[in-house]
Structure 1
């Protein structure tokens, strides 16, 4: 193993960390920091969710609470109720349902590790010792932020389940499975090939397409009836012929796989100079992120880097990202798009042309991080891969926010949230007295976005400490792996005293510190706070 490989696997080698508190957020944060190379010493119980300290740094580190203001909620169940997760998870099936995985706690642990990484990166760039804070409720509110944005932009447009049942489907031979396509023509071809009624095909497309944003998907019963008459092999063959993904639900035991050498598949790309100096106030201030992303995972990763202080510019197609115009609108901009992209600039580049690709390459080469969530191989076809830009921008940190990370269930299977939940064993983890089914909350998209932002921080630390550019690749499948590792939680276990489940709009009202209002729409604030450590004031 080369020195560059060792450095890439552990950019924080030699850094001492003390973790206090025996809670899931602390355990997740400690594991992420160990993967970065930290030597983590663990203490026992701690009031609140816990804390991470960096000995010898004058008080730098991160405090982890259940709630940002120190009040209720006081555990994962309370968080899911108060912050909208229970409402959204149960919306498609008639009432609040608690996630049997401690999802908010897992997200909070990743955010805490990010905060520590950002604190250390600021110090490497000449900044002061910073103390961060993050909360489990703040992590949950970040996850529901796009739903809160839509709900507050259009208070009368709250989604309702309506008649019909959401996926997954069941085949004649008893296989439960999900399907996926983002193409209405492929949807039509698939159902017509199977002989579904034309009116059911037409009625099903809108809720199927919008389920990512609404957390409901009432499909006509006639569609399920068609698939119930076929063995899964026949349905899968029809799906392949029409460009539709079809993935059986797997148990966690069926997902056993070798973990990557680094959670971020991080590697050095060659010698590079120092990063720009810290300018404050955010830990990433003075750094530029160039982002070519769409939908949820990539834009959320870019938003997190922006909220850490980076100057972020999006590469968008001519006319701008089509998601800008998706209703409901607030101030002429899609509320959901604004939730993921507030504070970013945008440059339009036609990547179908040589001129547009050159313009994008110029933009990326002038940045410190290049973040994209294109399918594998597309960056290289555009001349924007790590090797393509190495000579011009040797210090650039490339972050590919991927879906399957090279482990597709079958060739050309779409890498989207619900298919990843199905294939990654999450649907079975979520079963609570009923049949396994993916949540219609975009669990792996959001957690996948957190992991991609973490990869950017890992790459920047590698650049700062080892003097090399970096390339990283994370995936929605990694989010599923992390949830599997955390296992079943406790939030779904009934207990007296749980508050009523709030919807996303009510959660935005209840936690005003987590949102800012733009044209009346609730948009997420940073899930962390950073202040100068007391010992350095």
Structure 2
């Protein structure tokens, strides 16, 4: 049997523009615009975000085609472009810019990192307003000012802006980093010092191990939805990394069932709002989760855990971003599930290091922030969530690799990926000194305009809240 698969990469793909470089793609597809929000003007990322994302998507598409071919489907070729990868990476921002019910969002230049009195630059992370309030009040900042600064800090993952008052930076600069870290630990927040340069790394950004044999496994050739048609994925994940992975698997044709707490994920109600399946929902949430089914289950209860385990009996993949310390207590560790679903592909997405579980601390820890800093400035993370996006793409590709290996061996597969391992792909992809867009290439400064531009019609669905179309073209 001929297993040859052709994989084609281009700059523009179906986008009807003369794109010939990473800089062209960043300029026209909005990457410069979103990255530049913290600077007050469009600015090129000094790493090849679109190119790397396209490469990961191409690998995932090719692996999906290989699996489909072995099951009898007639796929022979997959094509993806850097422009489509860039648009998929901006899907949350595109959705927010085209939401039916726009809302006021923080705007302004500046943002972390902070600097201690002994010259250590660091990122601060907390997901709760209580921790934010305790930390800054202990540093002597007025409570009212701290309260007003929570919204731009908390919203930065969705807005790519984080204008904070100077008083916060001044307060951090009065303490040594050791004292800052001690205060953070007391208040339940994390601080991550920025590395001045990334380590030299290489290799595949995920790990795969074989598990138990799947004696009852029976796979069928995919149908018309895509090369993963017939695959069922159970997703237990929040925020961006895990849901992005689930979205990519869904775009490849898989059925994805998302487990949410009773009443639904709280992020469903975060403005700006749009309509999905006749119900109001956060536009950013819809960008990552449209096309998925939902099972509401309280994982803290025996009934909720039983419902998820029952769902897994008919599933092919468990995709989760749960903390390793919690997985066994929930009965969702790979060993426990071997008896529930022989042959399960167990895909785990994580931060990659203790205390580092979200985008901006990962940029600091990996050295990416140092690479992204403009000349003469200290390490500065991009507020475009490049780590979350790329982490989701890597996790999805690792999952497809697990499915492909399972179809060949009949054995369960365990794949592990992380934000840190995905980010290192970017640290090895620093662009050339000349990173200017080509002559005549437009710089996007309004994401909503892309959905009205006929040149993007084959890559974006502009009816209502913007939807990024599947970034692959599969041919038989």
Fold-level similarity (TM above 0.5): yes
SS of the residue corresponding to residue 132 of structure 1 reads strand
Q: Is the 8 A contact 2:102 2:271 kept in 1?
A: no
Task: Name 2:269's counterpart in structure 1.
Answer: 325
Distance 1:171 1:256 in 2: 27
Q: Is the 8 A contact 2:38 2:161 kept in 1?
A: yes
Match of 1:264 among 206, 209, 225: 206
Deviation, structure 1 residue 159: 4.7
Distance 1:89 1:523 in 2: 20
2:337 matches 1:389: yes
Distance 1:320 1:303 in 2: 18
Match of 2:372 among 413, 430, 433: 430
Of stretches 522-531 and 210-219 in structure 1, the one that deviates more from structure 2 is 522-531
Task: Name 1:417's counterpart in structure 2.
Answer: 359
Distance 2:38 2:381 in 1: 11
Task: Name 1:139's counterpart in structure 2.
Answer: 85
Q: Is the 8 A contact 1:139 1:527 kept in 2?
A: yes
Distance 2:103 2:273 in 1: 12
2:411 matches 1:468: yes
Distance 2:335 2:429 in 1: 35
Q: Is the 8 A contact 1:83 1:503 kept in 2?
A: no
Trace 1:117-266 onto structure 2 (pairs within 5 A). 117-153=63-99, 157=103, 159=105, 161-162=107-108, 165-253=110-198, 255=199, 263-266=205-208
Q: Is the 8 A contact 1:401 1:473 kept in 2?
A: yes
Task: Name 1:11's counterpart in structure 2.
Answer: none
Task: Name 1:95's counterpart in structure 2.
Answer: 41
Distance 2:101 2:421 in 1: 35
Distance 1:370 1:488 in 2: 36
Deviation, structure 1 residue 128: 1.0
CA, structure 1 residues 344+526, in 2 after alignment: closer, same or farther (shift >3 Å)? Answer: same
Q: Is the 8 A contact 1:508 1:514 kept in 2?
A: no
Query: Residue deviations 1:80-104, cap 9 Å, x none?
Result: 0111100011111110110000110
Query: Residue deviations 1:433-472, cap 9 Å, x none?
Result: 1332000000000000001001111110111112210111
SS of the residue corresponding to residue 530 of structure 1 reads strand
Distance 1:491 1:316 in 2: 46
Trace 1:443-454 onto structure 2 (pairs within 5 A). 443-454=386-397
Deviation, structure 1 residue 493: 4.4
2:232 matches 1:284: no
Trace 1:343-382 onto structure 2 (pairs within 5 A). 343-382=291-330
SS of the residue corresponding to residue 324 of structure 2 reads coil
Q: Is the 8 A contact 1:82 1:500 kept in 2?
A: yes
2:54 matches 1:108: yes
Q: Is the 8 A contact 1:127 1:278 kept in 2?
A: yes
Distance 1:278 1:62 in 2: 21
Deviation, structure 1 residue 392: 2.1
The number of residue pairs the alignment matches comes to 466
Deviation, structure 1 residue 419: 0.4
Task: Name 2:400's counterpart in structure 1.
Answer: 457
Q: Is the 8 A contact 1:338 1:523 kept in 2?
A: no
Of stretches 132-141 and 191-200 in structure 1, the one that deviates more from structure 2 is 191-200
CA, structure 1 residues 334+490, in 2 after alignment: closer, same or farther (shift >3 Å)? Answer: farther
In structure 2, the gaps of 5 or more residues are none
Q: Is the 8 A contact 2:209 2:413 kept in 1?
A: yes
* Higher normalized contact order (CA 8 Å, seq sep 6+, divided by chain length): 2
Deviation, structure 1 residue 491: 6.6
In structure 1, the gaps of 5 or more residues are 1-54, 533-537
Task: Name 1:334's counterpart in structure 2.
Answer: 282
Task: Name 2:424's counterpart in structure 1.
Answer: 481
SS of the residue corresponding to residue 486 of structure 1 reads coil
Deviation, structure 1 residue 497: 4.0
Q: Is the 8 A contact 1:180 1:414 kept in 2?
A: no
SS of the residue corresponding to residue 96 of structure 1 reads coil
Of stretches 170-179 and 498-507 in structure 1, the one that deviates more from structure 2 is 498-507
Deviation, structure 1 residue 272: 1.4
Query: Residue deviations 1:371-403, cap 9 Å, x none?
Result: 011112322110011101101212100101111
Q: Is the 8 A contact 2:101 2:274 kept in 1?
A: no
Distance 2:77 2:166 in 1: 54
TM-score in terms of structure 2 length: 0.94
